[in-house]
Amino acid sequence: MIAKSLVAAAVAVSAMSANVVCAQNKPASGAGAQMKADKAAKNVGKPAAENEDYDRKIRIGLKTKSVNIDGKQVVKFIIKQPDGSDKTFMWNFDVVNTTVDLNKVAPEGVLNRPVKVWVGADPDFRQ
């Protein structure tokens, strides 16, 4: 019951704070970025290659606090930087019904503020 309430609250917050859009971006890369993502990603998914197909594209604005996704999705994040530019990275959320601190899995220098990802159920197995 509590989990359903949390998911409902997260949906409401996400609707106010996340924009799903298409944009041109500069991918983040480098060995340091990969090592940070590998260390933080334990049990919350794994980085996806920039050329991999993805399920959603989500823009993270300067004021975005949280976003909602379905479990088992590959998401391309477009992160607005303070200088107005965009940086991107992709993440394979190979998890369900959990929360992820996006700034802990983002490559170094891409997201330097807290953003929570509310991961819901796998839509293929919803009742």
* CATH classification at residue 15: 2.60.40.2280
**How many folded domains does the chain comprise?**
1
Segments forming the whole domain that contains residue 11 = 2-125
The stretches of 29-122 forming alpha helices (DSSP H) are 31-40, 102-105
Tens digit of pLDDT at every position of the chain (127 positions): 454 544 444 444 444 344 433 333 444 555 555 555 554 455 889 999 989 999 999 999 999 999 999 999 999 999 999 999 999 999 999 999 999 999 999 999 999 999 999 999 998 876 6
Query: Burial of 83 by CB count in 10 Å (0-12 exposed, 13-18 middle, 19+ buried)?
Result: exposed
Beta carbons within 10 angstroms of residue 100's beta carbon: 22
